Amino acid sequence: MARLIAVSIDCRNNEIRQTFVEMISRRQHYLIAKGQGTGAVDMLLLELDEYRPQHTFDRVRQLLGTAPDLEIFLTASRMDPQLLLEAFRVGVKEFLPQPLTRQDVEPALERFETRFAGKVSGLELRAGKVIAVIGVRGGVGASTVATNLAVSVQQARRHEPVALVDLDIHGGDLGLFLDVPVSQGLTHLTKDISRLDETILRSTLVQHPSGLQFLASGCDAYDDFMFEPGSMMRVTSLLRSIHRHVFIDCGHVLNPSVKEVLDGADQVILVTTLSLPVIRRTKRLLEILSAAHYPTTKIALVVNRYEKDQKDLVAEIEGLLGMHMAGLIPNDYESASEAINHGKPLTVMASKTSIAQWYQGGVGQLIGEQAKDASASSKEEGKGLSFLGRCFSSIGVEARRKSSVVGR
């Protein structure tokens, strides 16, 4: 399923409500809305007012008039053929007789999912591209990379909407990188994710002078906060429906929300550096993604703080990791730090530096290219291992055979 399915239930009969919730809960990608508001839900289970059926039908017409994509399931203890015919005429998609049984509900849900998948597929053809940026460990500069990639794309494509999302619930400092006021963000949007729609999302986005739309995490570094399952799936789906590119800073921790984003992203950019401890973490993360069946074409490996004299080291690491580096970002720690301290992107603060020019010139190729699988050739296997190779000899490919913590 491409995204989360939000369901609202409007039934006076609590037994019917509980039965339907239990059946929905057995299926993946469903979210039960709080209360009885329809908000931005995809499906509504509505109980027929058997004493005033026309009142119910009038409500169906009203709901579909404002939300034509909403699918309405009608349930009643009894209904004569004439009323059933009128229900379908006003737009009801499925009728569930009471008491609810699996034999009636399961086929109805399967038909709904087929229709829903068709709608979502059509939307995805016109949807924007989601690029998830994740650091292999803290301190490698993933937030700097995500921010400057997003701003550079926005500057190059001024007439195309670009969004940047801060999903680092352990930091959430991107607002400082851009010097934009942040009062609320993802934590606000996900309080009741079933009610989230485009209007609410747009009201939460903050616009940067470059035109970039920014969505903060809303988290404090010391908050004990976790998003509800499916929250990021729905937020990302809405973001990509109104933006040409969506960049998401995932921090460096594989929590459930980050896994949702990585699963649904069109491209995953792994930010690393060339120090030995970081490369060990890089290899481990690549093994985890491989065990989760991520195609190599989805993953782009980027080296931050690259020095020109490290060319041979890069070649050796590419052989050890079995993957080409998709980007080598020049080391200019002074310019990067100054830009962060002034709350300005590198392309604005230090546009003439090599690092800013890399973002300006290399970003299109990075987000447009597909990372290539460059497994070490068999002729290299017989050669003696270097110091770097010996350090990695204890890290085999066993992780590829194990079940990954990144669920599909």
Half-sphere exposure of 27 (CA within 13 A, CB side): 22
Structure confidence at residue 398 (pLDDT)? 37
Q: Which residue segments constitute the domains of the chain, with CATH numbers given?
A: 5-124 (3.40.50.2300), 127-401 (3.40.50.300)
CA 197, CA 320: separation in Å to the nearest integer? Answer: 45
> In this structure, what are the phi and psi dihedrals at residue 277, rounded to the nearest 5 degrees?
-60, -35
Q: Which amino acid is at 310?
A: Q
Q: Which amino acid is at 134?
A: I
Structure confidence at residue 148 (pLDDT)? 94
The two tokens of residue 115 are 């229709």
pLDDT along the chain (408 residues), means of 10: 75 91 85 61 91 94 88 91 92 94 93 83 67 94 94 89 90 85 81 78 91 88 73 86 93 90 92 94 94 90 94 93 92 91 90 90 67 38 51 46 40
Other residues' Cβ atoms within 10 Å of the Cβ of residue 210: 18
CA 297, CA 202: separation in Å to the nearest integer? Answer: 32
CA 362, CA 356: separation in Å to the nearest integer? Answer: 10
CA 7, CA 34: separation in Å to the nearest integer? Answer: 9
> In this structure, what are the phi and psi dihedrals at residue 244, rounded to the nearest 5 degrees?
-75, -35
Residue 209: asked if its preceding bond is cis (omega within 30°), the reply is no
Nearest alpha-carbon partner for 134 in 162, 178, 167: 167
Structure confidence at residue 394 (pLDDT)? 47
Nearest alpha-carbon partner for 300 in 152, 136, 166: 136
